[in-house]
Chains A and B, each alone.
Chain A
């Protein structure tokens, strides 16, 4: 990504002496360094949690060291529980978006309470003879008849 800069980020030997501060570059640098630090932090946290979250590959020998593996089981249960709670939070937020989208989608298939025409029944425009679903008929007529917005309406 090429950024026009006379300052410290400049390329070419000629710019080496110039130290004109470039606030845009500095701000971006600071932002991305913050992002990198956050990702490092996340990776370290996950590395710490990894031993507790991976199931044991070999079963304990014959009841020996029950205390130790019990401890590991507890740790693993905690880690899995934490992950489960996190996933629940994410799913909650997802469902919010799903409900909104679903609601908007169903608006298009609403039915008139008075005359019970479905929202997806087709109507023919009197002007241009094109067909439209009822829910979008009014906004087309608006533009086609040229009564309210006269931007590109041509008189027929």
Chain B
């Protein structure tokens, strides 16, 4: 029922966190990303952003850096890691919301 997806969505997000599944997947992903060099790449890019804004550094906010680095960070995740974690998430969703025919 599309009209119910608001409530179901909230419920699912809550269960994702409370069951510990989110934390479990985050730890797995953290290790994989670190091994693949992703964290170093993102750190590099962040430092480049800081140097580009060296003259206005007092006004540089966390949001400024985040806004500029997020597209790079998202696209820089290796495809196999993305697919692996995505599969685990989809499995969790299927367990939480069994397929119904209504």
Chain A positions within 8 Å of B, measured between CB atoms, are: 35, 38-39, 41-42, 45-46, 49, 67, 70-71, 73-74, 77-79, 81-83, 85-87, 89-95, 97-102, 105-106, 108-109
Within 8 A of A (CB), among B5-55: 5, 9, 12-13, 16, 22, 25-26, 29-30, 33, 39, 42-43, 46-47, 50
A78 in contact with B79 (CB, 8 Å): no
- Residue of A71, A78, A97, A108 touching B46 (CB-CB under 8 A): A97
Per the bound structure, the CA–CA distance linking A77 and B96 in Å amounts to: 14
Tally B residues with Cβ within 8 Å of A: 47
Q: Which of B42, B74, B99 contacts A87 (CB 8 A)?
A: B74
Cα separation A102 to B64 with both chains bound (whole Å): 10
Q: Are A39 and B58 closer than 8 Å at their CB atoms? A: no
Given A42-B79, A94-B66, 7 additional A-B pairs, CB 8 A: A71-B101, A78-B97, A81-B9, A89-B26, A93-B33, A95-B62, A97-B46
Could you tell me the dominant secondary structure of chain B's interface residues? helix
Q: How far is the CA of A149 from the CA of B99 in the complex (A)?
A: 71
Q: Which of B77, B79, B93 contacts A82 (CB 8 A)?
A: B93
State whether B60 touches A94 (Cβ < 8 A).
no
Q: Judging by beta carbons under 8 Å apart, are B70 and A89 in contact?
A: no
Is B30's CB under 8 angstroms from A93's CB?
Answer: yes
A109 proximity list for chain B (CB < 8 A): 57-58
Interface pair A79/B80, CB less than 8 Å apart: no
Q: List 6 A-B contacts (CB under 8 A).
A: A41-B80, A45-B87, A77-B5, A78-B93, A90-B74, A93-B33
